[in-house]
Chains A and B, each alone.
Chain A
């Protein structure tokens, strides 16, 4: 059971470089999310997608773009990486979480921007 798969697991970038974090889920979920986790700040929502073809900003969208390519895949792009984007990134998916449905998380991507 793959669940939510995200790549890469580790990445070091130089300031100004670009990269894309890939995420795929095999549970046929409508909703997908990208969070970042920083010490003492919990998880903060970057972008989410309620269904294929739709995306919406979360709490901290600046410096990021997303693409919901199809129902399975939801990618996060950093166009010009900055040291403030050093973080652990989690992709997640769910059916309607307001109905008690589980949000499933990937294992995380550790990104360092130097």
Chain B
């Protein structure tokens, strides 16, 4: 089955860039997603990328997709304390695209 992996923690200084990485096993995924979860809240869609793209930029967010290595990354430029949250990557399950498989989530901590 589909497997989505992320590192659990990332700590960065305010103003630096953050890079959150994700690897997945299924190459047939169409869209790949990044979700953000703030403390005590549900997940909110942050951004997504279509599988025929290599890069997508949205203000401070840059998503990079390496299909050959099945590697997805989220770069946050000029990281702020408000960016502290858990970030999940998610990909549709190959044999049933109505369901998303989520990674374990990366807890981003931003310190002054």
Contact = CB atoms under 8 A, between A and B. Distances in A.
B42 A108 contact: yes
Chain B interface category by residue count: 20 to 34
A45 B105 contact: no
Contacts of A33: 99
B44 A105 contact: yes
Interface in A33-61: 33, 35, 40-45, 48, 50, 58
A33 B101 CA distance: 12
B62 interface: no
Contact of B31 (A42, A99, A107): A99
Contacts of A70: none
Interface size class of A (residues with CB under 8 A): 20 to 34
Contacts of A100: 30-31, 48, 50
Interface of B: 4, 6, 8, 30-31, 33, 35, 40-45, 48, 50, 88, 90, 92, 97-105
13 contacts: A4-B42, A33-B99, A44-B102, A45-B100, A92-B43, A96-B98, A97-B33, A98-B30, A100-B31, A102-B45, A103-B33, A107-B40, A107-B41
Given A97-B98, A103-B43, 6 more contacts: A40-B104, A43-B102, A48-B99, A97-B99, A100-B48, A105-B42
Interface of A: 4, 31, 33, 35, 40-45, 48, 50, 58, 90, 92, 96-100, 102-103, 105-108
